[in-house]
């Protein structure tokens, strides 16, 4: 195997919208995607919404010559929809399923059944180790009244935790996927601020694609205006993020997106636009001397405190909503139980009053009993589900509280060590300030 470090790595990311029997022209579009990847030959391919394993196996066979290393991340009822194809050897993989994934009774949205997750693959880029992540977060169906905001914030929180804790030994970190968040949304700021990941679109020296880098565009025939309202030109929710390390510097030389229409085809590759980023790699010079912290470090810490506090507030709002829904489910269940006891009491009337006839027709009686049992079963399942949601939200809120405390400690430590980093001499005629004996 060649251990020569590559000068650049091309990363491709696409939400394939591959819902069999529901997504339009699904089979034809997978053929188009396969042809595109065979032609362009990116080093790393990160795909989302490959819901059918048959479609993944089709792409695996199609790309067997150009991308011999591949992995399909399985999760949930119908799968995570995440897949990775690579020219470089995959040494290890790991999947983390998000603790919150929407609601099972919102079947028309389907996020819960997909088991949204983040998949990681450890690759070799010559002598460098690259941790490559692919993810798909919960969709935003109504921006003005977003019922899933707390879930998406928790997913972003778990995503940044997963990346931070698994990428410590990596030389290069790359994340691609459908984050379902605008660039300045809370979850996006939380992810980038905590991990230090940089946005390829914001960092690129050359861009060719839709204006503003949008990946859901109004010109796409698979997109309805309702999905992008009130943004007339479209929204940017798909990303390629990256960062280097002390061993490797990384930057984005160029980036491009598809533009809806495809030559010689009546429809595009997907309802999302595909992203391709050309990432340039350089061996970094390492040294033993670490520079002193700058005032910007304190500013970054303070900004991060504000972001985590904002995220914690949104999680608390979601927690109150979940508690209210659990209370409603419990109250409805009690009403169903009371109705069932009332029916049993009515059924017992003939036993205590000899010769009395049943006051209700048997058909109505059985239908009412079936309704009571249905109410009890449904409310019981909802109570369990909301309890799980509450536990997940409480766990995330506790983690954020600890994180805010830790960040405050770092800020205080930075303020205490700031004089030691200053290299300025005291003004002429003044003596240096006396040091604390405990320092």
Quote the pLDDT of residue 366: 80
Contact of 161 with 169, CB cutoff 8 Å = no
pLDDT in tens, 408-433: 998 888 777 766 555 545 555 555 55
Quote the pLDDT of residue 437: 40
Tell me whether residue 272 is one of the annotated catalytic residues.
yes
* Mean pLDDT along residues 311-335: 96
* Mean pLDDT along residues 360-366: 73
Q: What is the DSSP letter of 143?
A: S
The one catalytic residue in 71, 182, 272, 320 is: 272
Q: Which residues pair with 123 in a beta bridge?
A: 90, 130
Write the burial class of residue 220 (CB in 10 Å: 0-12 exposed, 13-18 middle, 19+ buried).
buried
Distances (CA, A) of 278 to 167, 281, 290: 21, 10, 30
pLDDT in tens, 100-124: 999 998 888 888 888 899 999 999 9
Alpha helices in 142-247 (DSSP H): 149-166, 186-195, 200-203, 225-228
pLDDT in tens, 369-399: 888 899 999 999 999 999 999 999 999 999 9
* Mean pLDDT along residues 73-100: 94
Quote the CA–CA distance of 213 and 211 in Å, as a whole number: 5
Any idea which of 57-66, 223-232, 245-254, 320-329 has the lowest mean pLDDT?
A: 223-232
């Amino acid at each position: 195997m060649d251990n020569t470090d590559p000068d650049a790595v091309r990363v491709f990311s696409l939400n394939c919208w591959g819902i069999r029997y529901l997504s339009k022209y699904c089979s034809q579009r997978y053929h188009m995607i396969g042809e595109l990847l065979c032609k362009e030959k990116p080093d790393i391919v990160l795909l989302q919404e490959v819901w059918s394993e048959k479609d993944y196996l089709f792409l695996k066979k199609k790309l067997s010559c150009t991308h011999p290393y591949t992995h399909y991340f399985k999760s949930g009822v119908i799968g995570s929809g995440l897949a990775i194809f690579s020219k470089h050897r995959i040494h290890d993989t790991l999947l983390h399923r998000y603790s919150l994934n929407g609601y099972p009774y919102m079947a028309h949205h389907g996020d819960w059944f997909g088991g949204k997750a983040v998949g990681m693959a450890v690759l070799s880029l010559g002598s460098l180790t690259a941790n490559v992540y692919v993810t798909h977060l919960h969709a935003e169906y109504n921006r003005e009244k977003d019922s899933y905001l707390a879930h998406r914030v928790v997913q972003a929180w778990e995503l940044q935790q997963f990346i931070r804790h698994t990428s410590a030994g990596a030389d290069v970190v790359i994340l691609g996927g459908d984050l379902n968040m605008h660039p300045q949304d809370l979850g996006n700021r939380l992810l980038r601020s905590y991990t230090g990941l940089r946005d390829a679109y914001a960092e690129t020296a050359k861009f060719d694609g839709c204006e503003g880098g949008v990946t859901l565009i109004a010109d796409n025939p698979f997109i309805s205006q309702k999905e992008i309202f009130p943004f007339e030109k479209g929204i940017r929710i798909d990303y390629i993020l990256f960062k280097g390390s002390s061993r490797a510097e990384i930057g984005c030389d160029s980036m491009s997106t598809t533009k809806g229409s495809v030559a010689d085809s009546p429809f595009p590759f997907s309802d999302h636009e595909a992203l391709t980023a050309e990432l340039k790699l350089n061996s970094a010079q390492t040294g033993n001397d670490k520079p002193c912290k700058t005032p910007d470090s304190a500013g970054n810490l303070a900004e991060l405190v504000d972001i985590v506090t904002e995220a914690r507030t949104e999680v608390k709002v979601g927690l109150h909503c979940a508690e209210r829904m659990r209370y409603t489910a419990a109250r409805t269940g009690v009403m169903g139980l009371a109705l069932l006891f009332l029916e049993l009491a009515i059924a017992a009337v003939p036993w205590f009053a000899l010769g009395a006839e049943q006051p209700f027709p048997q058909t109505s009686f059985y239908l009412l009993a079936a309704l009571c049992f249905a109410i009890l079963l449904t409310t019981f399942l909802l109570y369990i589900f909301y309890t799980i949601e509450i536990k997940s939200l409480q766990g995330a809120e506790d983690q954020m509280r600890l994180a805010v405390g830790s960040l405050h400690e770092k800020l205080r430590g930075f303020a205490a060590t700031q004089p030691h980093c200053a290299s300025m001499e005291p003004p002429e005629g003044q003596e240096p300030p006396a040091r604390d004996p405990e320092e």
